[in-house]
Amino acid sequence: MEAFVTCSAPAPVPPSAPLASADAFRSIAELAGDLAFILDCATGMPVYLSARIDDLLGYNAKDIEQQLAEGGDGPLAALCGGLRERLRRFAAGDGSRLRVLREFEVRRPDGRLAPVEVISTLLAGADGKPAALAGIVRDLSARRARELEQKRFASMLNHEFRTPLSTIDGAIQRLEATGANADEATRQRYRKIAVAADRLIAMLDDYLSPERMAQLGRQRQPNGVSPRLLLEEVTAQARVAGRPVQLDADDVPSVLRGEAAGLRLALKVLLENALRYTPAGSALHVSGRRTGGGVELALRDEGPGVPEAEAPHIFGKGYRGANAAGLPGKGLGLYMARSVAEAAGGALGVVAAGGGAEFRLWLPAQDAGAKDLASREASSDNRNDNGESRPPKEET
């Protein structure tokens, strides 16, 4: 039975009468087991609460009303946490907090924690001002249990694959160390086995970590991001690191194709490389411009640059240049950054610029097709024993 904070049941609806829109939408919101609520923006107090809210949170309507009262700081205060700030920002013309999704844990009266997801939105009245905060509370217990099981499964697989690989890696290192009198072909075969073992171990780290497995099955996030925001974030990170930065991002579109987290990772890799391989205190130049039916995000440094002979190889998996000697790393950063760019239909390259290096990340604009990025070079993983590229198989 649905209940308001007064705990009175709604009046029966005659079979011939149309169901009120508000009642219908509340019922729809609760079909999947989610709990609905409506709060008065003026008071922050509940106007409507699903009757089953006590099953999930362990509190009844009266408990919730008491905890959400002015100055309330009980476990349920987080349900409308930040409401005053949302209203202030909305009044100032900022619509970024109109709809908010949050995850947190509510401590039940019995001491147990109830993991919940709360999705809420501001509802405006006839005068255009926010009158109510409507939302749903979703129980995350099943999802958390599933994610925990995925992590356990991933850890088990990681261990089961890593153990024999470590054995192979140790054995081949011993063979290399004791095989000084072996012929050249045998030594080359040892090296190929060692490289293959290293590659498989790196793949475990890249693709079979618990974190990566936990992402499987999750809903794909919107494939759009603000390029100016990305560049501003890189600029802020560089300044925190103590570098003077010049930002030029006036000529960029409002939205780019691409997954935001991946693009942030790619730019972070470029920034970390610039900080690592250039003199402390030297300036960085961050820019964005429209070109080739898309937008180019660039990071230029004033360091020694990339040796011309190494430029074609620096994006390869595991490749480390001469200037990386003695520094930590596995040579995967630029490889991952280029993979992110290509997955978004873009490209990543490097050019010499002003005595330093300039990395350029090109991405298609929202209204433009992606470049043809089919690699014209064979993959390092697709070569024969003599290092020659294998021809691609013909389709049958």
Task: Print burial letters for 367-377: b (CB count within 10 Å at least 16), e (below 16).
Answer: ebebbeeeeee
The pLDDT assigned to 286 comes to 93
Res. 194: pLDDT tops 80: yes
**CA 340 to CA 334: how far, in whole Å?**
10
The pLDDT assigned to 73 comes to 58
Percent of the chain residues topping a pLDDT of 70: 74
Domain edges within the chain: 21-139, 144-214, 224-364
pLDDT digits (tens, 9 = 90+) for 205-231: 766 665 665 555 455 455 578 889 999
- 270 pLDDT band, cuts 50/70/90, is very high
Q: Which residue has the tokens 């249990």?
A: 145
As to burial, measured by CB atoms within 10 angstroms (0-12 exposed, 13-18 middle, 19+ buried), residue 79 is: buried
Looking at CATH, the fold of the domain delimited by 21-139 is given as Beta-Lactamase (3.30.450)
Measured in whole angstroms, the distance separating CA 330 from the mean position of its chain's CA atoms is 22
Q: Closest Cα to residue 108, out of 56, 69, 48, 50?
A: 56
Which pTM does this prediction carry?
A: 0.41
**CA 235 to CA 229: how far, in whole Å?**
10
Give the strand pairing for 245-248 and 284-291: parallel
The pLDDT assigned to 210 comes to 58
Q: Which amino acid is at 367?
A: D
Give the strand pairing for 224-225 and 256-257: antiparallel
Res. 11: pLDDT tops 50: no
Looking at CATH, the fold of the domain delimited by 224-364 is given as Heat Shock Protein 90 (3.30.565)
Res. 288: pLDDT tops 90: yes
Q: At what angle do helices 141-178 and 184-207 cross, to 10 degrees?
A: 170
pLDDT digits (tens, 9 = 90+) for 125-154: 777 788 888 888 888 888 888 878 877 777
pLDDT digits (tens, 9 = 90+) for 333-385: 888 888 888 887 888 988 887 778 899 999 887 543 333 333 333 334 444 44
pLDDT digits (tens, 9 = 90+) for 33-79: 788 888 888 887 888 888 777 788 888 878 777 777 655 556 666 76
Q: Which residue has the tokens 């990305």?
A: 230
The pLDDT assigned to 211 comes to 61
Q: Which residue has the tokens 């074609």?
A: 312
**CA 352 to CA 356: how far, in whole Å?**
6
Beta bridge partners of 119: 101, 136
